[in-house]
Structure 1
Amino acid sequence: MSLRSFFSRLFTSHSHDRQSNNGSHSHIRENQDHGKENKISGRHWLSTWRHYIVQFFIVLALILSAIWLLLAVWYQFGIASAITWLTTVVVVGLLATVFAARYWPQLFDKNPLHKKIAKNATSSLNTNSQSYKRTRVKWLTGLYAATWLAGVGWFLSIEPKQDRDWMAEVDQQVFYKRDAANPDLITLTNVRNFDWRTDTQATEHWETRTVDLSKLSGVDVTNSYWMGPLIAHTLVSFRFENDKPLAFSFEIRKENGESFSALAGFFRRYELSLIAAEERDIIYTRSNARGEQVYLFPISNLQQHEVRSLFESYLTAIDELNTKPAWYNTLTSNCTNIIFYMARIVSGDRLPWDYRIWVSGWLPNYLYDVGMLDANPNKDEQPWSMDTWYERTHINPKTIGFDNRSGDTSEDNGRAFSQQIRQGIPIPPLADSQAAAEANAQSTAQTAQ
C-alpha cells in the first residue's frame, strides 16, 4: 500500500460506505499493479541473466578459438617464426578490437576518425548512433571470423608426409606379404629388434619374420607409465604356439631432434607410425632403458578367430599407413584408442564405450571391469583384485639386470625376455566358443564387482 492510499483511508475512515468501498477497490487495484510490476521485474531479471550467460559463452568461444589458432601456428612454425608473430598480432588485435567495439564503445567515440565515420554514416543512412555501433561490431566480428576460418582452412590443408628426417627407431615402415600357397603364413619385413644400451643409444636391427596365424594362442596388453597414473603407452603382443610373441605399437613418428608433447599432438605435429617389434626391443627399452613402469596383462575370454581378426586389423593398418600417412592425435588417434577401435570391430558390444578409453592409464581397470582381465585366474585360489594384478604384472622387478645384448644368441635372448616378463602371470587359454567366452566374461565382470 502506498503512503497516499494509507493517509487517504485514515482521513476518510468515518465517511460513508461508498467512499470506503472506493478505497477498497483502489487498494485492490494498487495490489494488482504492484503484482504486475513484480512479475515484470522478475522477467527482466531473468532476461538480464540470460543475456549475461549468452555473452559469457560468446566471449569464451572467441577467446578459445583465438588460442587454438595461435597454438596451431606456433606448433607448425615455431615461436620464433615471423609468421607466428604476425599471426599473433593480427588475431589478438582483431579480437581486442571486437571486444572494445562491443563493450567499450567510448574508446571508438573519442577517436576523431570514428567520429567522422559515424557522422557520415548517420547523415547518409539516416540511422542513429546505436545502430551504427551495432553495425560496427558486426563488421569487426565478421572480419575476425573470416580470418579464423582462413586459419582453419590452412590447418586442414596440412598433409602428413613419409619423407622426413626420422629418428632411427621409427625410420622404417613395416611391410608384410601373405604366402600364396598358405594364407596363414605372414612374412613381415622391417620388424624392429634393436639392442638398447641407453634410452637414446641402440644398435639397429631391422629383421624379417614369418608368423603362422593358425598358431595364434592369445593377446597381451602392455601398459607403460611414463607420466603419472593417468597416462600410459599401450602395446599389444600376440602369442604363438611354439614361437616367441610379436608386439605392435602405434607411436608418433618423431623426427631427429624432436620430442613428444601431448599438447602438440592436437595440432598435426606428428605423423602416426605403426611399429612391429620383438618384445626384447620395444618393452625392454621402456622398462630398462627409459625406466618407465611397465605392466603386462593377458587378455581372457577370447576365441582364436577373434585374436586372428585383431591381428588382421593390424595388417590392414599397415596397408593404410603405407598407402597414405596419417596424423597422430592426442585425443582421437593415439596409441590406446586406435587399439580399442580395432578391438571393438572384432568383439562388438563386449567392449562398451567408456571414458577410460581416453584415459590410457586406466585401460587395465576397464578390461578388468568388462571381464577381459580374469578376476580369478587361479581357480583354486582367492580372486585377484586390480591391485593384485598390478603387483603380479609389474615387469620392472623381473627384468633388473637382464642382459639384452643380442650377438649370436638373439633368438634365445628374445625368448628368454618374453618368458621372464610373464613369470607369475597365469596365461589364459583361448575360449572354445562364443557362448563360453561371453559367459566367462560376464562371470568375471561380476566377480570383479
Structure 2
Amino acid sequence: MSLRSFFSRLLTSRSLGRRSDSEGGTHNIKKSTPEEENKKVSWRHYLLQLFIASILLLSALWLLLAVWYQYGAGSIITWLSAIVIIGLLTALLSSRYWMTVAKQLHDKPSTSNTNLTKKAIRKKSASKWLAGLYVVTWCIGVGWFFSIEAEQDRDWMPEVSQQLSYTRDATNPDLVTFSNVRNFDWHTDAEATERWDTRTVDMSKLSGVDVTNSYWMGPLIAHTLVSFRFEDDRPLAFSFEIRKEQGEDFSALAGFFRRYELSLIAAEERDIIYTRSNARGEQVYLFPISHLQQHEIKALFESYLTAADDLNAQAAWYNTLISNCTNIIFYMARMISGDRLPWDYRIWVSGWLPNYLYDVGMLDPNPIKDRQPWSIDTWYKRAHINPKVLEFDNLTHLNSDTDRHKFNHEFSEQIRQGIPMPPLADSQPAAEKNAHSAAQESD
C-alpha cells in the first residue's frame, strides 16, 4: 500500500467515525426543550429590560439634578421640568412593562390571542413614540446644560471677590509682580479683615515646593494647596477654589452640575492656611516635595501664571471629579515631570495624595540622612500643622505692613517646624534616580 493510499484511508475512516459518532451518539446529547429555550430568552429579555430601565432612570436623575442645582427647588422651571421628565419616564417604563406582559400572554394558548396581538402592536408603537420623545427631551436638556457659561461678574464672597493678575519686569522676566494677593486677618471662620496686597517675587530664587492637605470631610477628602519657597523671601501659596457667591454653601454633588465657577487664589500662608487650621478647625498637613530641580519648580510656577491668564480671559467651571483643587495641580505637574508622576486612583481621592507622593518617591522616606527612615505615618505626624499653631494669635502686633509681613514670615516658619526642607536636585538623572530609590525604600 502506498503512503498516499494509507493517509487517504486513515482520513476517510476518521471522517466516517466522526459522522457516525455524531449520528449515532445523538442520544447522549441532551437537547434543550422549548420551555428551557424560552426560559433562556426570557432571562435575556429581563436583563435587557433592566439595563434599559437603569439607563432611563439615571439619565432622568442626572437631568433633574442639573435643573435643580441651576434654578433651585422653588423655581417654576424646576417643577415643570420635573413633571415633564417624570411623566415621560413613567409612561415609557409603563409602556415597556405592558409590552412584556402582552408578550408573555401572547406566548400562551388562548382564545383572545388576536386581541392581545393588536394590543401589543399598539403598545409597541406607543413605546417607540414615547422613547423618541424622551430622547429628544433629554438631548435638549443636555444641550441646555452644556450651553451654560461660567461668569466673571457675580456677587462674590469677599475671600474670592478679586481675581489674581500679574505683570513681568520688562528687563527681568523672572521678577513677577502679583496684584490681588490675599492677606486677610481672620477673626473667625466667617469674619476677617480684608486685605489684598501687591507682591513681587523672583522666580530665580525659587528653592522648593510644598503640598498642603486640609482635611475637612473625613480622611478621603482634602483641599490641596501648593506653596512655593524662595531663598530670601517668605513662601507664596496658590489654591484652586470654588468661587462662592454671597450666602452660597459648597456641595460636592452640586460640583458636578456647573454650579460653581473656578477661582485661583494667591495668598500669604498666614491667611489661607491659618483660616483652615485655626479658624475652621480643619486638620492640616504640610509636605515638602523632594527630588526636584529648580527648572521643574519654575515650570510649575509658570503653569500657575498661565492658569491665571486663562481664568482672567474666560471664566471656567469647577468640577468635583475632573477639575478640582487636586487633579488640576496633578495635570500641571505631570506636564512637567511626565512619567515620574504615574496615573493613580489617589489623584481623585485627594485625602490620599500624600500616600501617593510617598509611594512615587516625591516624599522622601529618608529626609534626614543616616537617621531612622520615616514611614508615611511618621510623615503625617511630623507634617501636622495644627499642634504647631494652636496658640498662634493671628491678630497680635499687626500695626503696620512691616509688622504684618514679619508675622507672615513667622507663621510660615512655625508650620515647618520639625520638617527638613529637601535641597534642589543637581540634575535630571540624579533627581529621577533619587526619586526611584526613595520609591523603592518606601515599599
Alpha carbons 1:250, 1:275 under 8 Å: kept:
yes
Aligned residue runs from structure 1 range 208-357, under 5 A: 208-357=198-347
Alpha carbons 1:233, 1:336 under 8 Å: kept:
yes
Q: CA deviation at 1:132?
A: 2.8
Once superposed, what is the RMSD of the aligned Cα atoms? Answer: 2.1
Pick the aligned partner of 2:399 from 391, 404, 407.
407
Q: Percent identity?
A: 69
Aligned residue runs from structure 1 range 2-401, under 5 A: 32=26, 35=29, 37-38=31-32, 44-104=38-98, 128-401=118-391
**5+ long unaligned stretches in structure 1:** 1-27, 109-121
Q: CA deviation at 1:40?
A: 6.4
Q: Distance in 1 between matches of 2:290 and 2:228?
A: 13
Residue 58 of structure 2 aligns to which amino acid in structure 1? Answer: L
Q: CA deviation at 1:340?
A: 0.2
Q: CA deviation at 1:36?
A: 5.5
Segment drifting more, 33-42 vs 356-365? 33-42
TM-score, normalization: structure 2?
0.88
1:325-348 Cα offsets, whole Å, 9 max, x none, are: 000000000000000000000000
**5+ long unaligned stretches in structure 2:** 1-21, 103-113
Q: Distance in 2 between matches of 1:44 and 1:218?
A: 69
Q: CA deviation at 1:131?
A: 2.8
Q: Distance in 1 between matches of 2:273 and 2:243?
A: 18
Q: Distance in 1 between matches of 2:23 and 2:365?
A: 75
Alpha carbons 2:168, 2:177 under 8 Å: kept:
yes
1:98-153 Cα offsets, whole Å, 9 max, x none, are: 01111035999xxxxxxxxxxxxx99xxx944333222111111111111111111
Alpha carbons 1:100, 1:107 under 8 Å: kept:
no
Q: Distance in 2 between matches of 1:439 and 1:49?
A: 57
Residue 94 of structure 1 aligns to which amino acid in structure 2? Answer: L
CA distance 1:362–1:137, shift in 2 (3 Å): same
Number of the residue aligned with 2:9: none
1:429 pairs with 2:423? yes
Q: CA deviation at 1:32?
A: 3.9
Q: Distance in 2 between matches of 1:369 and 1:42?
A: 54
Q: Distance in 2 between matches of 1:448 and 1:51?
A: 52
Larger radius of gyration: 1
Segment drifting more, 238-247 vs 47-56? 47-56
1:22-76 Cα offsets, whole Å, 9 max, x none, are: xxxxxx9998479463276665544433332222111111000011011011111
Residue 343 of structure 2 aligns to which amino acid in structure 1? Answer: W
Q: Distance in 1 between matches of 2:24 and 2:265?
A: 82
Q: Distance in 1 between matches of 2:263 and 2:72?
A: 23
Alpha carbons 2:223, 2:326 under 8 Å: kept:
yes
Alpha carbons 1:356, 1:362 under 8 Å: kept:
yes
Residue 434 of structure 2 aligns to which amino acid in structure 1? Answer: N
1:253-289 Cα offsets, whole Å, 9 max, x none, are: 0000000000000000000000000000000000000
Number of the residue aligned with 1:116: none
Q: Secondary structure of the equivalent of 1:104?
A: helix
